[in-house]
A and B are shown apart, each in its own frame.
Chain A
Amino acid sequence: MFDWIQHIADWLVFDLLNLEKGARLAEALNFFIYDTTKILLLLFFIIFLMGIVNSYFPIDKVRNFLSRKRLYGFEYLMASLFGVVTPFCSCSSVPLFIGFVKGGIPLGVTFAFLVTSPLVNEVAIGLFIGLFGVKMTLIYVVSGILLGTISGAILQKLKLERYLTPWVQQVLANAKKEQDEFLAEKQTFKQRLPIIWDEVLNILKGIVPYVIVGIAIGGLMHGYIPEGFFEQYMSKDNLFAVPAATILAVPMYSNASGILPIVQVLVAKGIPIGTAIAFMMGVVGLSLPEAMLLKKVMTFKLIGIFFGVVTLCIIISGYLFNIIL
């Protein structure tokens, strides 16, 4: 499917730049051009596709759906699925949280959405296909959705409402199943397209530098870290590897675009895939900046419990990956 990109890369490096085939620099450059082109193309398609889906599922519609429908236990899964198709930037997490609570959506369901949304989104999916292939992507997406669903259900059971900050409790007390008449934008596909297109370009503009730097760093690591280097420290038998990687990752923040190319190299150099994915989920899903934002709506105790439960779920899924794959 991507042969033609390889041809272009070959032509650029070996014909146009006239570099010698087999030379280290030439091969590295060739690989870099091939990889970036392939990944950016995939990202473009996935982001565009998700943009279309999202245009018909705006966040307001999602909230009305979750608030109105009786879902008999499936609400966590639904919220988690909506998290996949509804991108939101982390700075929107507070308005979103309040908005959900205000609409009478249970806390656990809101958490399910908040956990899945940063983990599984158009950028992560595009990169995952480019770096690990379709099968791994499916496994990742399913586990990301389950992670959100299960964490959400656990958090609901803990009855955490009393740990919200006072003004949010006030909002909660006044919450009603709002039949917020949502002004459905009756636009034709033709009218939507320019808006979707702008959004695609905006997202791409934001992540392209990270992707390129990520792939470049990945490329360098490829060249200089010996094969199987990490195996001695982080083999599958080392039971502490998964929790250690996860706990190390939680305070760090990067979006999927920066971290994934590096994770791919780590896996190539011998870090078990489960450990690597746990690390990535920790970096992308939870972070100190996010905790600071949530401080406006949650007490420290609640943030602690939230992070604790999600971290635990990430560690468990890391072990599971290592066992199955």
Chain B
Amino acid sequence: MSTIIKILGTGCPKCKTTTALVEEVVKENNIDAQVIKVEDIMKIMEYNVLSTPVVVIDEKITIKGRVPSKNEIIELLK
């Protein structure tokens, strides 16, 4: 089953950078994953987070409030 990666963010520059990075990593490493952007604030709040961007992998919150590095994303997707 492919991994579901959700990026939570209201559309700020940091969130866009994060989405682009995650998509890049997925593509470059041929990872079987689906990247979904969540921009609806009510949906975002269901995750009970205080700062964006947030990276959610298979419904588990991994990174919040900052742009991760590529290596970090690779580690998380292993």
Contact = CB atoms under 8 A, between A and B. Distances in A.
Interface residues of B, number: 20
A63 interface: yes
Interface in B38-68: 41-42, 44-45, 48-52, 65-67
Contact of A96 (B13, B14, B51, B69): B51
A287 to B, nearest CB: 14
Given A91-B52, A199-B66, A98 B10 contact: no
B49 A95 contact: yes
B47 to A, nearest CB: 9
B5 interface: no
A94 to B, nearest CB: 6
Nearest to B15: A91
Main secondary structure of the interface of A (DSSP, over half): helix
Contacts of B65: 58-59, 88, 92
A89 B41 CA distance: 16
Main secondary structure of the interface of B (DSSP, over half): loop
Size class of the A contact interface (CB-based, 8 Å): 20 to 34
A94 B69 CA distance: 25
Interface in A72-88: 88
Closest 9 CB pairs of A and B: A91-B12, A99-B50, A92-B51, A59-B50, A98-B45, A96-B50, A92-B52, A88-B51, A91-B10
Interface of B: 9-15, 41-42, 44-45, 48-52, 65-67, 69
Interface of A: 58-60, 63, 88-92, 94-96, 98-100, 102, 167, 171, 180, 195, 198-199, 202, 293, 296
Given A59-B65, A91-B14, 16 more contacts: A60-B50, A88-B65, A89-B51, A91-B10, A91-B13, A91-B52, A94-B10, A95-B44, A98-B45, A99-B45, A99-B49, A102-B45, A199-B66, A202-B67, A293-B10, A296-B41
27 contacts: A58-B65, A59-B51, A60-B50, A88-B65, A89-B14, A91-B12, A91-B13, A91-B14, A91-B52, A92-B12, A95-B44, A95-B45, A95-B51, A95-B52, A96-B50, A98-B45, A99-B45, A100-B50, A102-B45, A102-B48, A167-B42, A171-B45, A198-B69, A199-B66, A202-B66, A202-B67, A293-B10
